Amino acid sequence: MTDKINAKNLGLAGGILWGLSMFAMTIAASTIGYGRTFMETYGSLHPGYSVSIAGSAIGLVYGFVCGFVGLYIIAWLYNWFDKKK
């Protein structure tokens, strides 16, 4: 049996990384235009988000929540399947 993955810690690490990535990409898209089309697509999935300086804070929050939840579920499933062996 392998060691369990700490779901909370993996979720926090992923949430911080994804949140900061969304923040940085929103700033880049709103100032120099880099990745603007991708970020506008992201905005169509998350209410209240826009490619703007103010939207970067909203993207930070959405990114953290999505990253945390997604990686928490992956770690939980990994641990659950590992128990089933």
**Per-residue tens of pLDDT for the chain, all 85 residues:** 568 999 999 999 999 999 999 999 999 999 999 999 999 999 899 999 999 999 999 999 999 999 999 999 999 999 999 877 6
The pLDDT score that the predictor gives to residue 69 is 98
Q: What is the pTM of this model?
A: 0.88
Write the DSSP assignment of 16-60 as a string of letters: HHHHHHHHHHHHHHHHT-TTHHHHHHHHHHSTT--SSHHHHHHHH
Tell me, what's the pLDDT at 2? 66
The reported pLDDT for the residue numbered 3 is 83
Q: What's the DSSP call for residue 61?
A: H
